[in-house]
A = this chain, B = another copy of it.
């Protein structure tokens, strides 16, 4: 499992120091790996999962559908993210989890998670922390959707994903793989594809981002961050005792 939970370990270590014992404890988490194609449902809304899933490769997202069938994405998960840790306590899923790109995830049975949390209060706090960071990201999305312009919100999202990817070692310089469709972006920001398309083009024309296929390049991060008024505080990317 060591290989598979590498991103999780890295993600937690970006926020606090792990002892060898804690690393071993994490590595002791058993689980089964499952692969999904883009668009497949990983966890259904309304279900009561008995295992939590950790992203190993690719992207997943939480999706909610309104009565009239519109989709809203309310989180994007990258490798190392424990997608539905909350499923352990929330029992019934109020949303579904979908594969946004081809991806593989690790299902860890809840009793195993509880075992680890009982064994290490500190690790328990760090897992709690990861759900709190989830919440902080949700708040940032809300202000983005509610109060930012489409273009600056797009830029904001790109900054966020860039930093999160870099935190787990999935960037090369200013480039990273962001295999999402414009429909997905639209559903993250609560807008139409057409409008996202036009806004994205204007970001490209302004030289703020390059985006070819799934390869995103940020020519000048500082400039993009300034444009988006991006403040990374909410990502809690500082190693501190927690």
Q: A interface vs B, CB < 8 Å?
A: 46, 62, 64, 66-67, 70-72, 74-75, 86, 89-92, 94-95, 117-118, 121, 124-125, 128-129, 131-136, 138-143, 145-148, 187, 189-191, 229, 231, 233-234, 236, 238, 240, 242
Contacts and interface: CB of A to CB of B under 8 A. Distances in A.
Contacts of A236: 90-92
A92 B133 CA distance: 12
Give the oligomeric copy count.
2
Contact of A138 (B46, B117, B133, B135): B135
Contacts of A238: 91
A236 B92 CA distance: 8
Nearest to A130: B89
Given A135-B86, A139-B62, A91 B145 contact: no
B143 A72 contact: yes
A94 B145 contact: no
B242 A89 contact: yes
A187 B145 CA distance: 12
Contacts of A146: 72, 145, 187, 189-191
A94 B147 contact: no
A186 to B, nearest CB: 9
A226 B229 CA distance: 39
A85 B139 CA distance: 15
Nearest to A186: B146
A4 B140 CA distance: 32
B125 A66 contact: no
A71 B74 CA distance: 21
A164 to B, nearest CB: 15
